[in-house]
Structure 1
Amino acid sequence: MMSMSVNAGRRVEDFNRGWKFNLGNVPEAKAAAFDDSGWRGVKLPHDWSVELSFTNNAGGCTAWLPGGIGWYRKTFMVPAASQGKTVRVDFDGVYNNSDVWINGRHLGHRPYGYTPFSYDLSEHLDYGGENTIVVKADRSRFMDSRWYPGSGIYRNVKLVTLNKVRIKQHGVFITTPEVTSKCAIVQMDVTLENAVDGTVLKTVVIDPAGNQVADGLCEVVPDELTHQVSRITLHVSTPRLWDVDSPNLYKAVSSVLVGGQVVDECETVFGIRSIRYDAEEGFFLNGKNTLLKGVCLHHDGGCVGAAVPDGVWERRLRILKEGGCNAIRTAHNPPSEEFLDLCDRMGFLVQDEIFDEWFNPKDKKNNFELKEEDERTLGYSESYGAWAERDLKAMVLRDRNHPCIIMWSTGNEIEWTYPGYADATGYWLPENKGKIDYYWDEPPYSLVELKQRFLESKERQGKFVLAHQAADLSRWVKELDTSRPVTANLVMPSVSHFSGYADTLDIVGYSYRTVNYDWGHRHYPEKMILGTENWVQWEEWKAVLEKPFIPGIFVWTGINYMGESAEWPKRGNSSGMLDTAGFKRPNWWFFKTFWQESEPMVYIATQPLNDSNYLLENGIVVENPARPRTRKWGWPEVSPRWNHGAGEMTYVELYSNCEETELFLNGRSLGVRELATSEDRLLKWAVPFEAGELKAVGRTDGKETASRTLRTAGRPAAVSAVADRSGLRADGCDVAHLEIQMVDANGIPVRHMDQSVRFTIEGDARNIGVDNGSDRSVQDFQSDVCETHEGRCLMVLQAGDAPGPIQVTVSAEGLASAVVALEQN
């Protein structure tokens, strides 16, 4: 099914169907006459690496999945009536080092894999006949990133046909410079191409209910400029504001008329909202002080790799929202256009980030400044000088109408690659080793000493000056958008504040430097400080509550991601609040207790005491000094299960936002813990295991407000399968998630045993990925069989094109099967 939108004078076609793919270098494939009949048919978006098997011959930094060179070809018709018009192909992202040909003619090269780009096909087309477009993606440097990037045309592609007089691509820019509950000013700058005498620009604003609420008309007087900007200022009465709880969206319909006839028309979705930042009081959305309960996210979707269907992101974002999250940092690159559309609709505040490295490369294998040269790890730094401005501006132009975006980020932990910065801090000097800690101690030197040390180490910075590059990036952003601030994630802010780097930023982002909040505010009170990368730990949020000048944090990470691994067979990073299958991890529940304070809750997690970070001393649970609980990226391997050895001393950890919580084992009270006396908000017990029921009861003001129960499970008896929706759209794109859990004869989840399950599908739908969520699982994602982890796994089901019933049978040897029925319309 080909989707197409046709406005007056403008046709936008879904260009994702009908492609052929070959993995392996075939240079002759760029010729239009090349025979691709033996190639495999694919539908875009497509990520070839996630289709392959994990191998320790690939790099752990990119998830132990191979790279390579891939070729794509598509033959398509262009109507004869399109001759004389402009026909353009729009790519939202190709990873990476792409080259594109049309009918054998080379159109261009694009090294960066995360930004959109377009090519004008008009001069090279056979109108009324067949045309062949060819794309090559070169990921032969398969360790070119510090995380899993995917491979190929992994985002959407569109074919756009336009008249000569038209609105420029990304040529509508909407801001709301004045917003009150009574009236909002909507300012529109529209860039036209090839305006002629008699050109008129008309705009209509439609509110969330579909009503026309404003309109404006502007006569365009042609001048010698090919691109001409016209401004229309409109007033919307009693606007419905966009915010995190009510993400109201408006639509502007812009029409270009020549001689009274519409020759082009485009629709722009936007939101009416105001943002304000105060270095003393924090962030304000629509005049209301709002704390950023943020998470950092990489762009992979687990078993579907980098080619993530909208429905996969929608489920993940919904679960994060349920846990209280309201903000996202797109670490460390621009996301897809559709991801931002979801954030607009669902009410997330977004920090849109562009680069992880500038001129100086990072060591992908060792995750720090470059320690050794390796051809396989060379990435964007080689292309930065020639492409940085174009790539940054491509992001800003595409994204600047999204109300969800509240700031732009120009880079992530760039100071790593400049030795002078690390030298000046002094944390790693031999004389300070063992005396001070980079993460927990303020700088060991006074500000005067830091500045002197930096001056002495400047010659080690090399050819490039970080502050100069940062100034370029900030200037390029502001050439296109001054309605939002510019930030960056600084890993060495004690030096960056005075080196000139922070001077280029409106907001100074701190990476794991909570200890420096007071230091930075004391020395640079005019600068807003924000936690742009923080651990998923209570201390990080506690600092926000205690310091009004800190508007919030972005924890690392919201979801486990693939890559950034140094050991086989660990395929990814497990610092997230959700695992790669999108299942909630214990730290998601922990953060929910204070990110959703109005919702009373308790959660129980357990672990054998000998495996935990705790000891039992005189009947009191205390931290084990030989194995202390991490306060950084990790979380103890606790689990919501009540299955342990008979009489085994078991560590029980409760998360609660109730005033007090009482724990019961088979009806016997094991005592009460008060939240106010638990500095780390972890309520702890050590309990000899006894099969049966473990129950927690939370009370506030003496009344029971929440409870949770764990029950001992028997052997697996059946497979339980639950879909997150009952139907699918017959569009070839829609998805449903089937969550699988082994249960015992009483329906109790079995989390202490694992088994392989098999998926069988009847109907026009397909399995696009299976995952058990474990970062140590290297089973194929593209499979009809999945080994469970903690008794559970996930299958992502994608719709076909034919309406009708879909039935999925989930079976496991010796267990009763589960059948899930969906209707596809």
Structure 2
Amino acid sequence: MKYKIFLIHLIAFTLFSCSTKEYLTANTDFNFNWEFKLEDSTSNRFDTTWKKINLPHDWSIESPLDSIKGEGATGYLLGGTGYYKKDFNLNLKNNQVAYLVFDGVYNNATVSLNNQELGKHPYGYAPFYYDITEQLQQNTNTVHVTVDRTRYADSRWYTGSGIYRNVNLITKNKLHIPVWGTFITTPQVNKDKATVKIETQLQNGYLEDKKAKITTDIFTDKNIKVGSTTTELTIYQGKSENYTATLDIKNPDLWDIDKPTLYKAITKLIENGKIVDSEETIFGIRSFKFDANTGFYLNGKNRKIKGVCLHHDAGLVGAAVPKSVWKRRLEKLKDAGCNAIRISHNPASNEFLDLCDEMGFLVQDEFFDEWDNPKDKRKNMNEKSVDYITRGYAEHFQDWAERDLKNTILSHRNHPSIFQWSIGNEIEWTYPRNAEATGFFNNMDWSGNYFWSAPPNSIEQIKEKLDTLPIATYDIGKTAQKLAKWTKELDTTRYVIANCILPSSSYESGYADALDIIGFSYRRVLYDYGHENYPNKPLMGTENLGQWHEWKAVMERPFISGTFLWTGIDYMGESNGGWPKKGTPSGLLDLAGFEKPSFYMFKSLWSEAPSIYIATQTAEKSKYQLNNHGKVVEKKEGAWQKALWVWQDVNEHWNYDSDQTTIVEVYSNSDTVELFLNEKSLGTRKLADFDDHIYKWAVPFEAGTLKAVASKNGKVVESVIKTSTQPKALQLFTDTKSVVANGYDTAHIVLQIVDNDGNPVKTENQKVLFTVTGDAKVLGVDNGSITNTQDFNSHELITNKGRALLIVQSIKDSSTPIRIKASSNTLTSNEIEITIAPSK
């Protein structure tokens, strides 16, 4: 968790038997040594015995995909009712309290301790906690969590099932800083000085008033103290008090996307000279603003937001994503020049946000995909739930929205990466009068008019319809105002935004009035409309196509701050009726985290570093052709300007029939590129000659080496692909040669079929088996294909493009090195050894 609470002056202290006179804070990782069983009437699976597991845990990803009983909306994986329990010892002292903190449980969770119900929590994404002091008993305690995921099509994407995020047990003195009780902001920032504001909540659980001293020390990332504040105060019996202090830091190191410097605040609560509570908060010093005319500024510098939308799943691990799995994926997005993440369409985990803080990603944290009215999980165009399994959060929104929104802000608000709170995603179509007012959606043509046309109705017509159409039980503008109000009750330092699918109606319905910034969903054709008609409201793209035309529209308009592409990574679900397609292939990375051609296209657009990449296709399958003048042109002129979610069909190999005409595409940020085939130049092209930002050559196939060469800023870069011959071996690669024995750390093992010369063979596939020995847990296998329906929870699979991925995870306190080999019916691999580093 972000709120990493540490003991100060701790000597020989254990959580379960405290004999010191100072009862200090303890934050215990509560993820290990759980038991689990599953009741799933849909698949007739009834576990009668408990199995040992560790958290985070997603039981749905462990099951086979089911094309009959499963739903494409949630990736053809089923749900059920999961039962978790954990025994633990905790001899709490009379002057202590204890909290059990869940970062996320999907969903409809009921939590009990020692057979006493603590509470229920329906939302699968918001963090929550319970004060368990009164329910604790001496020595052995048992916590039970029941997760009702029988509504297994309750979302438009794969959600996972179970306690899929971290759990912590926190013990404190009765005089303490409560959970999520600190808030650090930087209201004034420049290169010479930063003002740091520290808001701390203090709680007195005693039956008497307490006088105490509160101190906060600020440290750099090199552990140098740069500021301190101390105050004495009285906290009255049974009361909670809020305390605010400010201090200045000279010559601050700013948190930025290029240099994400973090500071540490250690707050101590001292009574009678003894530290009774201590909390560490990581934060960053930065400033940002949005200007309606000139866009986004970070630390005073005008920057474009080069963002991607991400769902919370990560391929074969489902929703229970280890931090190191996210790190590999985020490192690749960073390499492409990405600098921002939109969490779609729900709050992120604190662990994910930690990574964004550490790696320098701006984050839009989104609260809800449904408000008052449900979205149809199967069709996405007929906004109503029709049966039990599709009913989602809208059924709980009236009772739970404020709690879930505020819990999310309280838990996340110290993350410097967060710069926007999004109150909703594409909400408008669930309020019929808004959709009808625009003229869209009652004459929708997904291949055309919505994406590329102005609203059928004028502003005056939209206003008239909103004034005259029947008002339903709930009004979108009033709900938006309510959500924005709740947000700003807790945090006024970030901008409130929403992703608007019908911005023309949102401007007039009161929805946009609740927002600091309005986000456009697939409506780049309305950028000028929005800016000209509503010039005082900043706007940006918040869900847009991963195509050149989208980025071109941003670059041509200073008033557009940037964009969030749909999506950064392929995700499970939203594949209704698409079997065997189990997910959505709109990402720059595939389900296994492998780079796709669109990744390299956006690297050429977003990264300052020289980049170049070759893709090929037969002239028959290509979207391009050779015209009568010998120039490669689009088969449908201007098609690039209306390209949608999925990148054009291209290959990453150089294997075709002799003399077969191929179209070679090169994605580069260089002004010129020269192409060579077997060291013979095929000519130099200029980027300025290609409106679609793609270099192109028509090349009769000849076996050998195809090479593209470019230079940028004095640095020469090249991309090479070679004709492969018959498969000869399986080559294994790993992203790390050592994992920490903490039960969390992972290693990614990539398998590639290669020929006798070590060239990758991407045109043939084989069934491969991974053999793993030593102290490791196999998390599963994948090949990245959106149509791969093999079990993730396995040691074997058929490759895609001759490639496969295995992820192994360390075992807590283990020591035996991990050894990995692979084989097929005809091929064998090298052996990978991964050493085990002791856990700190």
Q: Normalization by structure 2: what TM-score? A: 0.93
Does the Cα contact within 8 Å between 1:323 and 1:595 map onto a contact in 2? yes
CA deviation string 1:500-540 (max 9, x = no partner): 10000000000011000000000111000011001001111
Note the C-alpha offset of 1:434.
Answer: 11
Distance in structure 2 (CA, Å) of the matches to 1:406 and 1:689: 50
Distance in structure 1 (CA, Å) of the matches to 2:706 and 2:40: 59
- Tell me which residue corresponds to 1:13: 28
Aligned pairs (5 A) from 1:36-51: 38-51=49-62
Does the Cα contact within 8 Å between 1:294 and 1:554 map onto a contact in 2? yes
Greater mean alpha carbon deviation, residues 644-653 or residues 88-97: 644-653
Q: Residue 165 in 1 paired to residue 175 in 2?
A: yes
Aligned pairs (5 A) from 1:693-704: 693-699=705-711
- Tell me which residue corresponds to 1:756: 767
Does the Cα contact within 8 Å between 1:767 and 1:797 map onto a contact in 2? yes
Note the C-alpha offset of 1:422.
Answer: 1.6
SS state at 1:82 partner: coil
- Tell me which residue corresponds to 2:143: 133
CA deviation string 1:173-212 (max 9, x = no partner): 1010111111111110101001833211111111111011
Kindly provide the amino acid, as one letter, of the partner of residue 589 in structure 1: Y
Distance in structure 1 (CA, Å) of the matches to 2:632 and 2:468: 50
Distance in structure 1 (CA, Å) of the matches to 2:789 and 2:520: 34
Distance in structure 2 (CA, Å) of the matches to 1:443 and 1:76: 60
Alpha-carbon spacing, 1:224–1:504, altered in 2? closer, same or farther (3 Å): farther
- Equivalent of 1:316 in 289, 312, 329: 329
Note the C-alpha offset of 1:708.
Answer: 1.3
- Tell me which residue corresponds to 2:722: 711
Kindly provide the amino acid, as one letter, of the partner of residue 548 in structure 2: W
Does the Cα contact within 8 Å between 1:82 and 1:161 map onto a contact in 2? no
SS state at 1:766 partner: strand
Distance in structure 2 (CA, Å) of the matches to 1:601 and 1:339: 28
List, as ranges, runs of 4+ consecutive aligned residues in structure 1 with deviation greater than 6 Å. Answer: 432-436
Distance in structure 2 (CA, Å) of the matches to 1:249 and 1:77: 36
- Tell me which residue corresponds to 1:488: 498
- Tell me which residue corresponds to 2:451: 439
Note the C-alpha offset of 1:485.
Answer: 0.9
Kindly provide the amino acid, as one letter, of the partner of residue 562 in structure 1: M
Aligned pairs (5 A) from 1:617-766: 617-618=627-628, 619-625=630-636, 631-699=643-711, 705-766=716-777
SS state at 2:248 partner: strand
- Tell me which residue corresponds to 1:776: 787
Alpha-carbon spacing, 1:226–1:704, altered in 2? closer, same or farther (3 Å): closer
SS state at 1:264 partner: strand
Unaligned runs of 5+ in 1: 27-35
- Tell me which residue corresponds to 1:30: none
Aligned pairs (5 A) from 1:779-794: 779-794=790-805
- Tell me which residue corresponds to 2:563: 553
Distance in structure 2 (CA, Å) of the matches to 1:374 and 1:362: 12
Q: Residue 817 in 1 paired to residue 829 in 2?
A: yes
- Tell me which residue corresponds to 1:273: 286
Alpha-carbon spacing, 1:449–1:38, altered in 2? closer, same or farther (3 Å): closer
Aligned pairs (5 A) from 1:429-508: 437-457=449-469, 459=470, 461-508=471-518
CA deviation string 1:145-168 (max 9, x = no partner): 001000000011111111110012
SS state at 2:389 partner: helix
Does the Cα contact within 8 Å between 1:5 and 1:13 map onto a contact in 2? no
SS state at 1:299 partner: coil
Kindly provide the amino acid, as one letter, of the partner of residue 176 in structure 2: R
Note the C-alpha offset of 1:623.
Answer: 2.1
Note the C-alpha offset of 1:441.
Answer: 1.5
Alpha-carbon spacing, 1:496–1:167, altered in 2? closer, same or farther (3 Å): same
SS state at 2:156 partner: coil
Does the Cα contact within 8 Å between 1:25 and 1:71 map onto a contact in 2? no
- Tell me which residue corresponds to 2:435: 422
Does the Cα contact within 8 Å between 2:309 and 2:343 map onto a contact in 1? yes
Kindly provide the amino acid, as one letter, of the partner of residue 18 in structure 1: N
Q: Residue 360 in 1 paired to residue 370 in 2?
A: no
Note the C-alpha offset of 1:545.
Answer: 1.1
Note the C-alpha offset of 1:84.
Answer: 4.1
Distance in structure 2 (CA, Å) of the matches to 1:25 and 1:140: 8
- Tell me which residue corresponds to 1:177: 187
- Tell me which residue corresponds to 1:31: none
Give identity over the alignment, percent.
47
Note the C-alpha offset of 1:436.
Answer: 7.2
- Tell me which residue corresponds to 1:306: 319
Kindly provide the amino acid, as one letter, of the partner of residue 123 in structure 2: Y
- Equivalent of 2:383 in 354, 370, 380: 370
Does the Cα contact within 8 Å between 2:40 and 2:79 map onto a contact in 1? no
Note the C-alpha offset of 1:699.
Answer: 4.4
CA deviation string 1:593-621 (max 9, x = no partner): 1101x322221101222122223321332
Distance in structure 2 (CA, Å) of the matches to 1:704 and 1:314: 28
Distance in structure 2 (CA, Å) of the matches to 1:446 and 1:310: 48
Greater mean alpha carbon deviation, residues 412-421 or residues 644-653: 644-653
Does the Cα contact within 8 Å between 2:5 and 2:278 map onto a contact in 1? no
Distance in structure 2 (CA, Å) of the matches to 1:4 and 1:515: 48
Note the C-alpha offset of 1:375.
Answer: 1.5
Distance in structure 1 (CA, Å) of the matches to 2:538 and 2:457: 23
Note the C-alpha offset of 1:696.
Answer: 1.1
SS state at 1:761 partner: strand
Distance in structure 1 (CA, Å) of the matches to 2:747 and 2:385: 44
Alpha-carbon spacing, 1:107–1:644, altered in 2? closer, same or farther (3 Å): same
Kindly provide the amino acid, as one letter, of the partner of residue 393 in structure 1: K
Kindly provide the amino acid, as one letter, of the partner of residue 382 in structure 1: E
Kindly provide the amino acid, as one letter, of the partner of residue 494 in structure 2: R
CA deviation string 1:541-575 (max 9, x = no partner): 11111111111100000000000002111110000
Greater mean alpha carbon deviation, residues 803-812 or residues 771-780: 803-812
Alpha-carbon spacing, 1:433–1:121, altered in 2? closer, same or farther (3 Å): closer
Kindly provide the amino acid, as one letter, of the partner of residue 171 in structure 1: G
Note the C-alpha offset of 1:6.
Answer: 3.6
Note the C-alpha offset of 1:429.
Answer: 5.2
- Tell me which residue corresponds to 2:216: 203
Does the Cα contact within 8 Å between 1:208 and 1:249 map onto a contact in 2? yes
Does the Cα contact within 8 Å between 1:4 and 1:14 map onto a contact in 2? no
Distance in structure 1 (CA, Å) of the matches to 2:612 and 2:250: 44
Kindly provide the amino acid, as one letter, of the partner of residue 14 in structure 1: D
Note the C-alpha offset of 1:370.
Answer: 1.7
Q: Residue 606 in 1 paired to residue 621 in 2?
A: no
CA deviation string 1:713-732 (max 9, x = no partner): 01111111111111010111
Distance in structure 2 (CA, Å) of the matches to 1:480 and 1:440: 39
CA deviation string 1:691-718 (max 9, x = no partner): 11111122469x7732211110011111
Alpha-carbon spacing, 1:700–1:435, altered in 2? closer, same or farther (3 Å): closer
Q: Residue 392 in 1 paired to residue 402 in 2?
A: no
Greater mean alpha carbon deviation, residues 560-569 or residues 808-817: 808-817
Alpha-carbon spacing, 1:429–1:21, altered in 2? closer, same or farther (3 Å): closer
- Tell me which residue corresponds to 1:509: 519
Kindly provide the amino acid, as one letter, of the partner of residue 595 in structure 2: K
Kindly provide the amino acid, as one letter, of the partner of residue 366 in structure 1: K
RMSD: 1.9
Alpha-carbon spacing, 1:435–1:663, altered in 2? closer, same or farther (3 Å): closer
- Equivalent of 2:573 in 553, 557, 563: 563
Unaligned runs of 5+ in 2: 9-22, 42-46
Greater mean alpha carbon deviation, residues 154-163 or residues 360-369: 360-369
- Tell me which residue corresponds to 2:305: 292
Does the Cα contact within 8 Å between 2:600 and 2:613 map onto a contact in 1? yes
Does the Cα contact within 8 Å between 2:437 and 2:457 map onto a contact in 1? no
Note the C-alpha offset of 1:435.
Answer: 12
Note the C-alpha offset of 1:428.
Answer: 4.6
Distance in structure 1 (CA, Å) of the matches to 2:442 and 2:310: 33
SS state at 1:123 partner: coil
Does the Cα contact within 8 Å between 1:436 and 1:444 map onto a contact in 2? no
Kindly provide the amino acid, as one letter, of the partner of residue 23 in structure 1: L
Distance in structure 2 (CA, Å) of the matches to 1:347 and 1:108: 37
Q: Residue 236 in 1 paired to residue 249 in 2?
A: yes
Alpha-carbon spacing, 1:654–1:252, altered in 2? closer, same or farther (3 Å): same
